[in-house]
């Protein structure tokens, strides 16, 4: 049975989709069978794999709201990662799901027939703690939390932990913390050091040793519809995500 990992942080701009896209691709490059779910209405993961959001025939929306089947929504990308895409329809899904039965477990039920075909399934959650993110967390075995090294990251973290506690209590008691990863990392800044110390105090050995630096090539890659290990594997960002993939796989032996 494949392991399902939600990549989540309700704070936007922390490198969440960047981490989902590039970690999934780097894990796949190590010979693992990987599926990635774009659960964010912005569709950054979809375009990050070179798939047009405007031409997707079946998206995650159809699985959550309609009677679409996961196997029919899977797109085989050219980067060794399978994708279930997102598009603008998803932005209205939260309102539409409110009155649906089993509204918090619709993603879990939709993915159940295909999860066993993969080693790892990554879910890129939206930057909010809404019904979409709740579905992502309820469908997952663990959650990976990207954190930018800034003061407000610590504030957002307490909200996220509160949500995870509620999810465990009410919907998914097996949900674990996969890890916490620092993004846009600038080691020379005093604030970075302070945030790292606080997070390590709270999460201990769940904090990834690998950090992701600020890197121009990482920022460029999505505009070419390529994960970093295809766009520029030798860049600082490319090397960081490949190292993170190795650390991830070591933790999941």
Q: What is the pLDDT along the chain (253 residues), one digit of tens a residue?
A: 799 999 998 887 788 999 999 999 999 999 999 999 999 999 999 999 999 988 898 999 999 998 899 999 999 999 999 999 999 889 888 889 888 888 999 999 999 999 999 999 999 999 888 899 999 999 999 999 999 877 777 777 888 888 899 999 999 999 999 999 999 877 666 667 778 888 888 889 999 999 999 889 999 999 999 999 999 999 999 999 999 999 999 999 9
pLDDT of residue 88: 87
Compute φ and ψ for 185, nearest 5 degrees: -85, 125
Closest by alpha carbon to 237, among 27, 40, 23?
Answer: 23
Q: Are 145 and 179 in contact (CB under 8 A)?
A: yes
pLDDT of residue 187: 67
Give every strand in the sheet of 34-38, ordered side by side. 74-76, 81-84, 34-38, 120-124, 3-7, 142-148, 176-183
Q: Rounded to whole angstroms, how far apart are CA atoms 204 and 22?
A: 24
pLDDT of residue 71: 96
Instruction: List, in sequence order, every residue forming a beta bridge with 142; answer none if it has no partner.
Output: 5, 176
Compute φ and ψ for 225, nearest 5 degrees: 65, 40
Q: Report the Cα 249 to chain-centroid distance in Å.
A: 16
DSSP letter, residue 204: G
pLDDT of residue 228: 97
Angle, vertex CA 130, rays to CA 178 and CA 18, nearest 5? 50
Q: Rounded to whole angstroms, how far apart are CA atoms 144 and 8?
A: 6
How long, in residues, is the chain?
253
């Amino acid at each position: 049975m494949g392991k399902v990992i939600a990549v989540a942080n309700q704070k936007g701009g922390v490198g969440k989709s960047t981490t989902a896209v590039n970690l999934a691709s780097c894990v796949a490059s190590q010979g693992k069978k990987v599926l990635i779910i774009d659960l964010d209405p912005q569709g950054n993961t979809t375009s990050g794999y070179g798939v047009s959001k405007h031409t997707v025939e079946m998206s995650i929306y159809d699985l959550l709201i309609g009677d679409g089947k996961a196997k029919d929504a899977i797109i085989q990308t050219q980067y060794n990662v399978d994708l279930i895409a997102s598009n603008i329809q998803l932005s209205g899904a939260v309102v539409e799901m409110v009155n649906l039965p089993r509204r918090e477990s619709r993603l879990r039920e939709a993915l159940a027939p295909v999860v066993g075909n993969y080693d790892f399934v990554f879910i890129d959650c939206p930057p909010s703690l809404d019904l979409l993110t709740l579905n992502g967390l309820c469908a997952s075995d663990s959650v990976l939390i990207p954190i930018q090294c800034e003061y407000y990251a610590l504030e957002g973290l307490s909200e996220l932990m509160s949500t995870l506690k509620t999810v465990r209590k009410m919907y998914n008691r097996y949900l674990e913390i996969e890890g916490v990863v620092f993004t846009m990392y600038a080691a020379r800044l005093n604030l970075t050091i302070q945030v790292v110390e606080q997070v390590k105090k709270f999460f201990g050995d769940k904090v990834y040793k690998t950090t992701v630096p600020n890197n121009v090539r990482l920022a460029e890659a999505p505009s070419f519809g390529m994960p970093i290990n295809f766009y520029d594997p030798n860049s600082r960002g490319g090397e960081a995500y490949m190292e993170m993939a190795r650390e991830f796989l070591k933790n999941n032996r």
